Amino acid sequence: MAHYFVGDIQGCYDELMRLMERVDFDPSQDKLCPVGDLVARGPASDKVAKLMLDIQDSVLTVLGNHDLHFLSIFHGLFQPKKNDKLDALLKAPFAEEYANWLAQQPLIRTFPQLNIVMSHAGLHPHLSLQQHLGMSDWVQQVLAGGKIKPWLKAMYGDKVNKWRADFSLQDKFNFIINVTTRMRYLKNKGQLDFKCKDTLAAAPDNLTPWFNVPRMEDADFQIVFGHWASLMGCVQNQQYMALDTGCVWGQYMTMYCAETATKYQQGALF
């Protein structure tokens, strides 16, 4: 039995299948742990969604920004854009089942036996794991509770960029979602920057990648995350494991077996 963490899939079904074949993935024993952004932009979001439903007892995922965006479109808050390439999934007979399954998924998952915490974008260095989990557990209950439309509708925007003790409920909801699904760079007081997606070398001086800001908490777990394709896996160490290697942008998909610390790559060049 092994846990296979995998970077942003974004509808890249073929690469995912080839990786699962390479590791001889066995849904009766193994766990597939995608870092979120399962669908959107890639060629076969419908096939990825169907696969997740088919093997859902073996899937441990977290929500990414594109997953939340799919839920917003599914619930009628936005029209899908052409480049989202979500039409086939939205028209599929299992679209509602998929949306319901997705709405049950958490923003953060912990794997105590592996000493791993997984979040699509990461964890804010100024907050403890317990603070993160308190908020993300609550958001999971809200999303799974059925009345998600007003929360999703008020989720969009860049206003909530910094932790405050006196948050309204909606601001708390937006903050933890911004941290766990959108964060890349932080400004010097820990405010989230929502614009810069650059490589570390190209970033302006006033921005620091969230994982280079010292963590407030003296934690010994590894954070597994995706979301940041331009990192191209350059941050893979005992503390931080960045798995988005831009498969949907013509690069490759990365799978990481935690038990053996082995990485597998699949894409145009492999």
Interaction site with Mn ion (CB under 5 A): 37, 64-65, 227
Rg of the Cα atoms in the chain: 17
Please say which residue, 172 or 227, places its beta carbon nearer to Mn ion. Answer: 227
In the beta sheet, which residues pair with residue 118?
Answer: 109, 224
Kindly state the smallest distance separating residue 259's Cβ from Mn ion, in Å.
Answer: 26
Per-residue buried b or exposed e for 116-142, using 16+ beta carbons within 10 Å of the residue's own CB = bbbbbbbbbbbbebebbbebbeebbeb
Please say which residue, 109 or 227, places its beta carbon nearer to Mn ion. Answer: 227
Please say which residue, 30 or 44, places its beta carbon nearer to Mn ion. Answer: 44
Residue 128 CB partners (closer than 8 Å, separation 6+): 216, 217, 219
Please say which residue, 30 or 174, places its beta carbon nearer to Mn ion. Answer: 174
- Residue of minimal Cβ distance to Mn ion: 227
Kindly state the smallest distance separating residue 177's Cβ from Mn ion, in Å.
Answer: 12
Kindly state the smallest distance separating residue 165's Cβ from Mn ion, in Å.
Answer: 28
Please say which residue, 50 or 227, places its beta carbon nearer to Mn ion. Answer: 227
Kindly state the smallest distance separating residue 26's Cβ from Mn ion, in Å.
Answer: 28
Helix (H) or strand (E) holding 125: none
Question: And the tokens for 40?
Answer: 């959107």
- One-letter identity of residue 213: V
CB 89 within 8 A of CB 95: yes
